[in-house]
Structure 1
Amino acid sequence: MRSLGDRIRHAISFEIIGLLVVAPLGAWAFQFPLDDIGIVAVVSATIATVWNLAFNYLFDLILQRTTGNTAKSGPVRVVHAVLFEVGLLAVLMPFIAWYLGVPLLQALVIDLSFALFYMVYAFVFGWAYDRCPSSEVLSSSAA
């Protein structure tokens, strides 16, 4: 089990590295200035974090009231993931369109591209982080 310090280090390094990669990549891919895509990326990451907290709280609250517990079966986890992403998309797409001055369809493409990047990035980052000797030492020494 990872220590609290290691979890904090994981979360902060995930966000910083992700932003350092997604901003230049997004600026290049969509032909926008780096500072504009950087602002979109930082605001999106912040909104995603707040949405994560709010959505998971509300989802568990509804699950508790309807089933009596918060245990999630495989199908419930799929519904949870889809609803989370659709909700995040609905929140971010208007912001992206407004900030970049683009039509909603283009904002949808940008938003979906960011979501795809972060899905792949989360997999690769998590795998690399778990294989990093320093994260194993830190998490096992705190136990």
Structure 2
Amino acid sequence: MQGKARKIVQAILYETIAVLCVAPVLSWAFDAGMAHSTVLSLILSAVALAWNMFYNWAFEYWEARQAQRQRTLWRRFLHALGFEGGLVLILLPVVAGWLQISLWAALLTNLALFVFFFGYAFVFQWAFDRVFDVPDSAREPA
């Protein structure tokens, strides 16, 4: 699977699994109720979905122009770090506003989510590439 179809399937699958993991944890951690936490998870997911589409497009654009195009462990690490680090900053005001907590508390919350999602992004992307193969941008030119 390549192109837009790959990006759409990848992003939707990633975010669906993320909502299923995050909503119950937010509900428990903030005693906010499952409905409130699920709505927040869906908002976070929608923002993350847009970020995912943009970030992966930009990453693959960059990747396709590299002399070494193979997805090494280091490249996967940088991919996950860039994606999750950018997302932490983007979501900071959303989390603070929705949970009615300080920016500092929101940062700590986002960093806790970052720890989970950093590993999740790495494992998910590896598994996705194993199931659907790597994108053309990660293939050596013939």
TM-score range, shorter chain: 0.5 to 0.7
Q: Which has the higher contact order (CA 8 A, sep 6+)?
A: 1
Residue 107 of structure 2 corresponds to residue 87 of structure 1: no
Shift of 1:95: 1.1
What is the aligned partner in structure 1 of residue 25 from structure 2?
A: 25
Residue 32 of structure 1 aligns to a residue in which SS?
coil
| Equivalent position amino acid for 2:78 in 1 | V
Q: Per-residue displacement from partner, 1:71-127 (whole Å, max 9, x unpaired)?
A: 33222221111111101111112211122221112112222333445567786xxx9
Aligned counterpart, 2:113: 114
Residue in 2 that maps onto 1:41: 41
What percent of counterpart residues are identical? 28
Q: Does the 8 Å contact 1:36/1:100 carry over to 2? A: no
Structure 1 gap segments, 5+ residues each: 128-143
Instruction: Spell out the pairing of 1:57-72 with structure 2 (5 A cutoff).
Output: 57-65=57-65, 67-68=66-67, 70-72=69-71
Q: Give the unaligned 5+ runs of structure 2.
A: 128-142
For residues 82 and 18 of structure 1, the distance between their equivalents in structure 2, rounded to whole angstroms, comes to 17
Q: RMSD of the TM alignment (CA)?
A: 3.6
The two structures have a TM-score, normalised by structure 1, of 0.61
Q: How many residues align?
A: 119
Task: Say if 1:44 and 1:59 are closer, same or farther in 2 by CA, change over 3 A.
Answer: same
Which structure has the larger Rg over C-alpha atoms?
Answer: 1
- Code of the aligned partner of 1:102: I
Q: Structure 1 residues 53, 21: closer, same or farther in 2, change over 3 A?
A: closer
User: For 1:25-56, what per-residue CA distance to the aligned partner results, in whole angstroms no more than 9, with x for missing partners?
Assistant: 31221222433322210111122222112111
Question: In the aligned structure 1, how far is the partner of 2:20 from the partner of 2:74?
Answer: 35
Q: Specify whether residues 46 and 69 from structure 1 end up closer, same or farther in structure 2 by C-alpha distance, changes over 3 A only.
A: farther
